[in-house]
Amino acid sequence: MMIFPANCWHDWRDTVDKKLLDILVCPLCKGPLLFNKAAQELICKVDRLAYPIRDDIPVMLEEEARRLEADEEI
């Protein structure tokens, strides 16, 4: 089970430009995303997917996302 310190999870909306936040959602369910700063991932709780951020660019492709383990805390 992966446990992340509480302070490494941030609401993605607190750290990014408002215009980007208005359009950046999970491409599958269109739900909000959480930002895991330590792992450089955007997390969709509903679909349990972690989208990577590479070179400061979110990669919002399902085939690039990491499926979260059942016991992995969000």
**Exposure letters 23-40 (e unless 16+ CB within 10 A, then b):** ebbbeeeeebbbbbeebe
Q: How confident is the model at residue 2 (pLDDT cuts 50, 70, 90)?
A: very low
Q: Are 41 and 50 in contact (CB under 8 A)?
A: yes
Q: How confident is the model at residue 15 (pLDDT cuts 50, 70, 90)?
A: low
Which CATH architecture best describes the domain 6-67?
Single Sheet (2.20)
Domain locations in the chain as residue ranges:
6-67
pLDDT per position as a tens digit, 40-50:
899 999 999 99
pLDDT per position as a tens digit, 20-42:
656 789 999 999 988 888 898 99
Q: Are 26 and 45 in contact (CB under 8 A)?
A: no
